[in-house]
Amino acid sequence: MRVKYKGTLPPRNLKSTEQILSNFINCKGGYFNKGKHKGKMITNVPIKYLLWVYENIMNLNQSEIRVLSSSIEKKLKKMETKN
User: For residue 33, what pLDDT is reported?
Assistant: 87
Within a domain: 80: yes
The residue range of the domain holding 55 is 43-83
What is the number of domains present in the chain?
A: 1
User: For residue 28, what pLDDT is reported?
Assistant: 86
Within a domain: 51: yes
Contacts of 69 (CB under 8 A, 6+ apart): 54
Within a domain: 76: yes
Q: Do residues 18 and 38 make contact, with C-beta atoms less than 8 angstroms apart?
A: yes
User: For residue 45, what pLDDT is reported?
Assistant: 92
Range 44-66 average pLDDT: 90
Range 78-83 average pLDDT: 84
pLDDT, the chain, mean: 79
Range 54-81 average pLDDT: 90
Range 14-21 average pLDDT: 50
